[in-house]
Structure 1
Amino acid sequence: MKLGLRLPQRLGVDLRRDVVTAARTAEEAGYDSLWTYERLLFPVSPLEPYAPPNVPWPEGSRQAADPLAVLTAAAAVTEKVRLGTSVLVAPLHGPVQLAKELATIDQLSGGRVIAGLATGWSSDEFHAAGVRRGDRGRHLDETLDVFDAVWGPDPVSFHGTRAVIDNAFVLPKPVGKIPVMLGGGGANLGRETSTAAVRRVARRADGWLPLLTTPGPAGAAGLRASWDRIRELATGYGRDASRMELVVVGNVTFTDSPQGPDRAAFVGTLDQILEDVHTAEEAGADELIIDLNLHDWFENTGQMLDAAVELHDRAVA
């Protein structure tokens, strides 16, 4: 299983220095990939909780720097690591502009981009972007259609509800095929579940980006069952499911003392976090993204990177 690291984007980060330092440090430490995430804004009185049923929005991090700008900075100072978004909220972006931005970063990086997308869920963000929450699934589908068209041969023609291209050249193209991965759908689907999000992953995506929330054997079994279900559906659509990737996201919060049996995955001591790394591997993950952005314990990016390097070294050992 490969390991990836989310780059620092949160409040208190010196964007001019910390992003490139983190990118270089992670590549030198042996991380296989670097990732960014998207939060357009942090509402004071949000319309929805940060996570169901009533998890509040994080108070210590009310900034998420633009994910594509951060990824571009990382591309300029690295040579080998893959560069992914986990995830971009597709309805917040014009689909043609997004396709062009991703293709440009792919060219700048020599073909290392992974496009991770999701529908999003925050009504506050949708209002700010001028889109309706009820249209988010349709917007994601059209974004995927635009990628297929714009990243294909020129001249391009496309007619959708948000984008119309009439026989035009749209350049640059990606270096090769940009893998498109999708989040959403939950991590405990069960064989009877066939939601729109799950079907979209199976039908359209090159991989799935779920959160691991349950530690131990139960978490591994649930995630593996969900992934098996997605690949089963993909095969039914006539796709080669063996070519799809499972890239799991771990939102890490270190604690000074061991947490009890009811803890969430990736919350606990370093030893407990390492157990969760093993859980992701047992679930069949091809890659695990370590995210330290929401951890209020870190005083600065240097301290965060020390923890990231130690976690990587211990996990590899």
Structure 2
Amino acid sequence: MRLGLRLPQRLGVDLQHDLVEAARTAEAARTAEAAGYASLWTYELLLFPETPVEPYAPPDVPWPESGRQAADPLAVLTAAAVATEEVRLGTAVLIAALHTPVQLAKQLATIDQISGGRVIAGMGVGWSTDGFQAAGATRADRGRFLDETLDVFDAVWGPDPVTFRGPRVVIDNASVLPKPVSKIPVMLGGGASNLGRGTSSNALRRIAERADGWLPLLTTPGPAGAAELRASWDRIRHMASEYGRDTSRMEMVVVGNVTFTDRPAGPDRSAFAGTLDQIMDDIHTAAEAGADELIVDLNLQDWFTGTRRMLETAVEIRARAVAAGV
């Protein structure tokens, strides 16, 4: 199983200091690549509502203070593209309803050209009503906006001239450049009981029918979590085969949102919450579930005083994974 790393993006209360840290994206990307990480990833957080419409996770989990704001995911990914040579560069995930489809397709294709064809487009429907409202969308729009965005990707990343008609987007016999170096893999998040939000048959169908891979969260530690994730992945691939797709080309890239604790977390802990030893156990669980890759996300640590401390921890996790034969 390969390991990927989410790049540092968070912006907290001390914005001047944090923006200086965010400017070290190139250093972070180079360090992660040198340490052997196979991929670098960004995430999307448009805004942090002071009085959110809904909790961060049901039934009443508050929004994490450590992630109050995040630098723009595509700008950070562009900096990483310039600073690296081989690692894949992905988004996990962009929220389709927050973007204009054609502009997003051009941005991703541009980064793909800059990087020499290393981009992975991780997409999702999103869930925050506050974010949707800021972008002029609603929760009811999110599924159809994602479907239209995927349709636009297919159209504008194909040959020119492009003609496309959708609910929002109309392109009439026009050239749309740049094109990606080659087909950009599109991976989709959701579809399982991520953050307790339930299972969506529509999400599973969309992944099986349209995606090059799945970006699930591992939420349950140990054998039960591995079995749960493996069962969902098997279901997706079975559905994909019924659509006539080559499932051997599909990837499961698990997201591990790490939260360190001073003492070992109890038996009711969530995956990737606990001591470093427990986090390493969860990395093994992802491998046992059949993950092709695991994204290590260290952006939630309040005690990280800067990018350098985060990178030291990332390098240690990579070294321990190699030593353990992951």
TM-score range, shorter chain: over 0.9
Contact 1:224 1:284 in 2 (8 A): yes
Q: State the Cα distance separating 1:63 from its structure 2 match.
A: 1.1
Structure 1 residues 247 and 16: CA distance shift in structure 2, 3 A = closer
Mapped to 1, the partners of 2:224 and 2:173 lie a distance apart of 52
CA distances 1:271-309 after superposition (whole Å, capped 9, x unpaired): 110000000000000000000111112111111110000
Are 2:148 and 1:142 aligned?
yes
Q: 1:54 aligns with which of 39, 60, 71?
A: 60
**Aligned twin of 1:6:** 6
Q: 1:309 aligns with which of 310, 315, 320?
A: 315
Structure 1 runs, 4 residues or longer, greater than 4 Å off: none
**Aligned twin of 1:248:** 254
Mapped to 2, the partners of 1:285 and 1:163 lie a distance apart of 36
Mapped to 1, the partners of 2:67 and 2:149 lie a distance apart of 29
**Aligned twin of 1:257:** 263
**Aligned twin of 2:207:** 201
Contact 1:94 1:162 in 2 (8 A): no
Contact 2:29 2:80 in 1 (8 A): yes
Q: State the Cα distance separating 1:60 from its structure 2 match.
A: 2.7
**Aligned twin of 2:71:** 65
Q: After superposition, where does 1:64-143 map in structure 2 within 5 Å?
A: 64-143=70-149
Q: State the Cα distance separating 1:16 from its structure 2 match.
A: 5.3
**Structure 2: which amino acid aligns with 1:173?**
K
Contact 2:26 2:80 in 1 (8 A): yes
Q: 2:283 aligns with which of 277, 288, 297?
A: 277
Q: 1:221 aligns with which of 227, 242, 245?
A: 227
**Structure 2: which amino acid aligns with 1:58?**
P
Structure 1 residues 53 and 148: CA distance shift in structure 2, 3 A = same
Q: State the Cα distance separating 1:198 from its structure 2 match.
A: 0.6
CA distances 1:143-175 after superposition (whole Å, capped 9, x unpaired): 000000000000000001111100000011000
**Aligned twin of 2:14:** none
Mapped to 1, the partners of 2:297 and 2:135 lie a distance apart of 26
Contact 2:191 2:200 in 1 (8 A): no
Q: State the Cα distance separating 1:55 from its structure 2 match.
A: 1.1
Q: State the Cα distance separating 1:17 from its structure 2 match.
A: 3.1
**Aligned twin of 2:49:** 43
CA distances 1:177-202 after superposition (whole Å, capped 9, x unpaired): 100000011158xxxx7610110000
TM-score in terms of structure 2 length:
0.94
**Aligned twin of 2:162:** 156
Q: After superposition, where does 1:8-23 map in structure 2 within 5 Å?
A: 8-11=8-11, 12-15=18-21, 17-23=23-29
Q: State the Cα distance separating 1:21 from its structure 2 match.
A: 1.2
Mapped to 1, the partners of 2:287 and 2:314 lie a distance apart of 18
Q: State the Cα distance separating 1:65 from its structure 2 match.
A: 0.6
**Aligned twin of 1:34:** 40
CA distances 1:97-125 after superposition (whole Å, capped 9, x unpaired): 00000000000000000000001111101
Structure 1 residues 13 and 215: CA distance shift in structure 2, 3 A = farther
Structure 1 residues 194 and 239: CA distance shift in structure 2, 3 A = farther
**Aligned twin of 2:272:** 266
Q: Compare 203-212 and 297-306 and name the one that shifted more.
A: 297-306
Q: State the Cα distance separating 1:14 from its structure 2 match.
A: 2.4
Question: Which ranges of structure 2 fall in alignment gaps of 5 or more residues?
Answer: 12-17
- Identical residues among aligned pairs (%): 75
**Aligned twin of 1:179:** 185
Q: State the Cα distance separating 1:77 from its structure 2 match.
A: 0.5
**Structure 2: which amino acid aligns with 1:9?**
Q
Are 2:245 and 1:239 aligned?
yes
Q: 2:302 aligns with which of 289, 296, 315?
A: 296
Q: State the Cα distance separating 1:61 from its structure 2 match.
A: 2.5
Contact 1:213 1:265 in 2 (8 A): yes
SS at match of 1:74: helix
